[in-house]
Amino acid sequence: MQRHGCGAELARWSRRPGARGRSGRPGPLVRHDGGVDAEADPVRARYLALVDALVGVDGVTPPPGGSGFGRGSLKYQGKIFAMLVRGELVVRLPEVRVAELITAGEGAAFDANKGTPMREWLSVDPRSRLNWLSLATEALEFAHSAAPKRGSR
């Protein structure tokens, strides 16, 4: 089973100097080449299992890696529908569904560090009882319904 973006090569591990997560705890272990150790980071391992489950779906592409926004995102026909950001699963769902999940206490509106919540994007708390694969599948279905149909204008 291939793990996208983690590489199997041996590397030395360290914590980024001064790295702190949103909770104020030290950040995840990182390889010196910038990759994250899935074994040392159970949230990342959970996300990689989700990636492995969905990359075989027609139109879904795995995270491209590299640097910049979207480097760890799952895409359907080139559009992001799920990604791991700051240790939380972020999915694109209909605005009404996002509002329902926020009201239920399962997450918050994703803001991409710009201070403006995005109505169709949910940042799921890692402690949430929601099944990540089910949410990502729901996000994929939403992306599929929003995608332009081939042969139509």
Domains and CATH numbers, the chain: 13-146 (3.90.1150)
- pTM to 2 decimal places: 0.71
Q: Is residue 109 within 8 Å of residue 130, measured between CB atoms? A: no
Quick check: 150 pLDDT over 60?
yes
| Torsion-angle region of 98 (φ positive above 0: left; ψ -120 to 50: alpha; else: beta) | alpha
- Out of 18-32, 67-81, 126-140, pick the least confident: 18-32
The confidence score (pLDDT) of residue 50 equals 93
Confidence bin at 127 (pLDDT 50/70/90): confident
pLDDT tens-digit profile of 68-88? 777 889 999 999 999 999 889
